[in-house]
Chains A and B, each alone.
Chain A
Amino acid sequence: MSQFLQHLINMLVLGGTYALLGIGLTLIFGIMNVVNFTHGVLYTFGAYIMFIVVHQLGVNFFLALPLAVVAGWLLGAAIELTLLRPLRGSDIDTTMLVMIGAWIAMQSGALWIWGGVAKSVTTPFPEAPLVLGPVSVSWLRLFVLAAAAMLIVVTYLLINKTKLGGAMRATFQDRDTASLMGVNVDLIYTSTFAIGSSLAAAAGALLGPVYVIFPQMGDLAAVKAFAIVILGGLGNITGAVIGGFILALAEELGAGYVSSGYRDAMGFLIIIAVLIFKPTGLFARSERVG
């Protein structure tokens, strides 16, 4: 039983960052209809920015997180303006392949700049974990959970309470009508991609110190984000949050009770199962897929 409780605690920590990844991707996928293969690289960049800011610039750990978010925002906006805006109106396969090209170039760039040796970030948190009865959790992981929860709430408020969020939701529902109502669709697209990218960078900056940082770390993160998006349904933010926690739970239980080697297979098995049995996602209104 205590082992199960421990898995639940781990699930909460992991699920929070997975939810961030998922929200970012589901916004981009849902509003722009772009399969964003650079999402994983932005996760990687977020983690490296954490490393650079803390270790090479000597800035405070807690200040590094907002810096990573800003850097992800800028990089996302740059990708949207240079690669996606000229391709607006072309079919989904073309934009997908362009994003794959960008992903290869950026990931190889990370490998070139920072090398293949894994790096780790030292944190200001005490080594000794917080022990609560039968379970224990490190302070770093608690911080990750709190920060992820805060970012999820901020994003939720941004989408649901602000004018920009209203315009984004309108564009998601009907691009042409939104445009006729005076929504600047180009601006919405750039903002959406930038916000999604900054959330991916934030997830990388949060999980980077928990694990180690290396150029290919984003590959699995990207596929997990796809799993979460499919699980929660296209463009469904609440679904992405729940999907993030479901994926984390499946991974924890799979690793704990099946085999740790198959931990990362859980995301893919979930994708396949959901697409076979309920391709609109677990929480979706009925909607045409594909």
Chain B
Amino acid sequence: MKSSVAIVSVLALASVPLWLRDPYLMNALITTGIFIIGAMSLNLLLGFTGQLSLGHIAFFGIGAYVSALTSLGFDAGLPFDLRMVHEPWPPIIGFVLAIVVASFCGYLVGLLSFRVRGAYFVIVTISFAEVVRLVALNWVELTQGPLALTNIPSITIGLPGLGDLTLRTKLQNYYLVLAVAVIAYVLIARLVHSHFGRAMRGLMENETLAVSVGIDVTKTLTLAAVISAGIAGAAGSLYAHYIRIIDPEVFAFINTVTMVIMVITGGKGSLAGPVVGGLIFGLLPVALRPIMAPEAQWIAYGGVLIVILFVLPRGIVPSLAQRFARRPKRIEKVVPVAFSERDAKEHA
């Protein structure tokens, strides 16, 4: 996406609270924004390294729990009569710790999973998310289990000269989420266009060739997993401090699927893809709410995912970009995506 388009988009999104006063819609936009950050981090793995992580919500949920527990404090028993006691810290430290811990978990999963690829990688990531969910559900002393962590404080930011600002209103949280989303977008964009990004895409398109020119597979993929998990953890932290209550359901598989749908429909391997897909699928329930029961909405979700995979297998943004970039000199602007065997045959 050209930088002028990006700047106009950000300005347009920044102007939304000026004319939109409806609190329900604002809430939908904020939670959508948080999930878009998660989807962007998923896209880093799925779109640029080709690894389908279906346990991505684990990093999001770990970020949410770490941030919430840091700012709430806890007192939990450990084996051998040890106790783990923690006094509440400011939520902003929780936000940082959420990124650190989620990144570390990303490192572990990356290290373990890149030994196995394809379907096996998918199943390892699902298993990881489910184990984390079961721990959150059963370690009641730490996480309150199904009773949920409640009264999570809002994020407080120290502004120079203005004192501390606690972000309680929807307006403040909207700009916080927008700011984090822009930072994440710029970070991912710079990463993708760096040497490291080219190494990732090289691996995705032809691993044997990439290895033969000296790209370190494990290092590249693990680093991608670490950064991706860290961004997802940041999104989880925002979620915890905005919603202010989290329970183990945050780890539900359907939340990962929501992120995957956002990435796939928008276009994997396209920087703007998760944003476009996220806005469509985040706001679709708002549009469908008056006309459809929630169960029917989910039927539509599944149906739309199937239809998009059949009709626009590369996603909305790459398909549109290709349509608008017929002239050869602009083809190079299109971020390459993985070609399936069938695509390759069509192009041949």
Contacts and interface: CB of A to CB of B under 8 A. Distances in A.
A and B associate in one complex: yes
B302 A108 contact: yes
Nearest to B345: A89
B134 A290 contact: no
A275 B130 contact: no
Contacts of B131: 265, 268-269, 272
Nearest to B52: A93
A93 B135 CA distance: 29
- Looking at chain B's contact residues, the main secondary structure is helix
B115 interface: yes
Interface residues of B, number: 47
B137 interface: yes
Contacts of A178: none
A265 B302 contact: no
Interface stretch (B151-159, B189-197, B228-236, B252-260): B252-260
Interface in B105-135: 112-113, 115-124, 126-128, 130-131, 134-135
B254 to A, nearest CB: 7
Contact of A290 (B116, B293, B304): B116
Contacts, number: 137
Contacts of A83: 306
Contacts of A89: 341-342
A81 interface: no
Contact of B112 (A104, A262, A276): A276
B342 A290 contact: no
Interface in B254-303: 254, 257, 260, 264, 293, 295-299, 301-303
Interface stretch (A60-68, A95-103, A131-139): A95-103
Contacts of B306: 83, 98, 101-102, 105
Interface string B33-74: 000000000000000001010000000000000000000000
A105 B302 contact: yes
A275 B115 contact: yes
Contact of A97 (B293, B298, B305): B305
8 nearest interchain CB pairs? A105-B302, A290-B117, A104-B302, A101-B305, A108-B298, A261-B138, A268-B127, A112-B295
